[in-house]
Every structure is written in structure tokens, then in C-alpha cells.
Amino acid sequence: MSRQPTAAEVDRRHRAVRAALAASQLDALVVCGSEYTGFEGAVRYASGFRIVHRYAYVLVPIEGPPISVFPAEARYVGEHDDGFVEDHVFAELPGEWMAGHLRASGCRRIGVYGLDYVMCVRDYRALADSGLELVGFDDEFDLARAVKSPEELEMVRATIAINEAGFWAVHGAYRPGCTQAQLMAEAEAIFTRAGCGRLTMDMTLWGAHGAATPEFRIPEAVEPIAPDDLLLYSLEVAGPSGYWVEFTRALSKGPLAKDTELLLEAYAESFEVTPKALRAGTTAHDAHRLVSEPFRRRGLRLGHVTGHSIGMTMIEHPRIGEGVDVELLENMVISMHPHAISADGRSCMYMQDTWRVAAGTAEVLTLVPLQVFDGTEGSA
């Protein structure tokens, strides 16, 4: 069984969401989720239900209890009682049911989390043709849940411990001659035993002769690892509570390429300024400019988002990037991972850490040093 929040935490979440609805003059919110990894978390946040298969919705009215809405064929593809929303509806066409219920309740303006990427097309058509005004509500919903409560932070730290254990399992098994998939299996075994289920999105960046190429890959079981291969295991997991964290460190037993040395030098400088960059009161834009400056100054490129808020959905708003003028608030949780690429575009460095925004300097939640490991180091 998944770990569920306390009644006080549930009430806090729903009050925050309803305050956001009121600020936007909306009558209700439709929260969308699907089984696609990383897009199921909003439904779990709002209802406690873990999507095992297909998709689901949560209706959150501005007043009154929320309702979980499932497609009829999903009656037996999840523990529907393993949640905190008591009212469940199984509809042949969820969009038609929601449209009828919302109209009968006197609702007119409806916020939708997942309108552009998550909502099932047939349900969108039913809602869009019903006369209701649909309003995209992704950013507003994410901001309503971005500041984590003490209870949530405890859950985040528990997932951090699971993720670090996965890294040290990879580290302990790392040796030339094995395959990338064999190493990843060590981490996945830890994650499965710890209750992550399938909420893992683990990838690698890899290359020969001390340099990793910029493309993310699924670990392969065929090519044996060479001593001077550079491996970056991107471990992204959600623990039993459903809160995601991200973590990456580099592995190699050989000499590093010159470009890799330059990338590491910039990374070390960027990591040093991140506590200041993620200080409460600064903006996501200013944080991005500060942590990316060491790369820009060296003529390096950034090929992936610098960072983002993270919670029960893997990537939440605000993103740490150019032009995002959202103010960072104390106890936001941010994943930082500048995707630094050499000037010629042929090699990269990618380290991930999860941080807590603080009033003074931000707190890094992982304690593993920022370095390239060769497999001989002891665990923290």
C-alpha cells in the first residue's frame, strides 16, 4: 500500500488549490492524469489514487467534496480505496459525465490541469462541446503545490535516501566488462524493494575515451563497458509517497577528455553558486542566469532545461530558465541539472541534484560529492 498523507495535509492541499481557483475566478478544477510515467502525479496529489493502468480525473469544485472519475473499463486496474477521495464515479465516457455534472452544479468556467498534454481527446471533445469554458490551469496548479509542507519534505527526503542507495548499488557493481543494463539493474532492484514500483525513469549518458555524448539513452545489455568509458546514470524515482527526486553522478576508471575536464570545472563553479541562486525571493530567471554563467563564460552550450520544480509530477512549474519570472519561495523543491555541452556539440556533462529553496542559502538534499567516481570510493 502506498504512503498516504495525513488528513491535515489533504486539507492543506485542497485549500491551496481552491484559493488558486478563486483567484482565477473558476468554478471547478479538472485534474488529469495518465499512466504515462511522470504524468500520473497530479491525480495522486489531489486524490491519493495511484494510476496503475489507463487514466483518471479528479473534479475539485470551489465548494464541496472532490470526486474521482474513472473510465468504466478501469474499475479493476488500481486500488480505488487506497486514497482519500471517497466519491468515485465509473463512466463509460468520463468527459460526458463530467460535463453533465458540472453543468448541473451551475459551473461555467472550468480550470483544467493537463489540458494540452494529458487529457484524453474524447473527454476533451465532450467538455469543449458542452458550453463550458475550459481554462488551462497547469502553471496555477503547480504553483499551488510548489511550496512543500514539513510532511511533504519528510517524504522527499525519504525518496532521496532511496535514490542515493540506488546510486551506491550501481557504484558497487561498476567494473569494466559488465554492461550498462547490468549496472542499472542493481539500482532498479533497490528501487523495487523500496516500493517505487514502476515510478522510475532511469537513463544514461555515455561515451568512450573519457567523454559522454549529449544524447540520453536507455541502458543497453550488449556492449561491455570499457575502462575509459564515461557513464552518467540519470536516476529519477518516486518513492512510496509518490514524491519524485532526481540524482546523477559520473563513473569512469580512465582518464577524462579535455572537454570533460572543462565541463567539470564549470560544473563545480555552478554548483558553488547554486545555494545563492535558489535563495527565496529570487526569480527562476535570475537563478538560471547565475547557475548557467560559468558555462556561458567558457563558451559551453546548454542543451536541456537548467532545472525545475519537482513534486508528485516529475516536472512542475516553475522551470529554472530564461524568462521565467516566477519568484522562488521557501520550501520549494527544485531539481537542478544543467545539460552542459562542449562548444563542438560532441560531449557533455550532466549532474542532477535536488535542492530545497531556503530563506538564506538553498539546501542540497543529496550528500554525495560532485565528482567523477571510479568505483573504489566508499559510500557516504
Residue 177 binned pLDDT confidence (cut-offs 50, 70, 90):
very high
Taking residue 281's Cβ as centre, other Cβ atoms within 10 Å add up to: 11
- Across all residues in the chain, what is the average pLDDT? 94
**Top-confidence residue, 77 or 157:** 157
Predicted pLDDT at 380:
53
Section 278-284 average pLDDT:
97
Higher pLDDT, 378 or 303: 303
Nearest CA among 165, 190, 183 for reference residue 380: 165
Helix (H, G, I), strand (E, B) or coil at 156: helix
Bridge partners of 353?
Answer: 336
Measured over the CA atoms of residue 358, residue 13, residue 85 and residue 141, the dihedral's sign is negative
Binned at pLDDT 50, 70 and 90, residue 354 comes out as very high
C-alpha cell at 357: 529553496
Contacts for 67 with CB less than 8 Å, ≥ 6 apart: 58, 59, 85, 87, 88, 89, 101
Using one digit for the tens of pLDDT, what is the confidence trace for 30-58? 999 998 777 889 999 999 999 988 999 99
End-to-end CA distance of the chain: 30
- In this predicted structure, the answer to whether residue 3 has a pLDDT above a threshold of 90 is no
Locate 115 and state its grid cell. Answer: 489540458
Average pLDDT, integer, range 141-149: 97
Please give the pLDDT value at position 221: 72
Whether the predicted pLDDT of 80 surpasses 90: no
Q: How many CB atoms lie within 10 A of CB 153?
A: 16
Question: In the prediction, which pLDDT does 143 show?
Answer: 97
**What SS3 class is residue 3?**
coil
Q: Which domains does the chain have, with CATH numbers?
A: 7-146 (3.40.350.10), 150-373 (3.90.230.10)
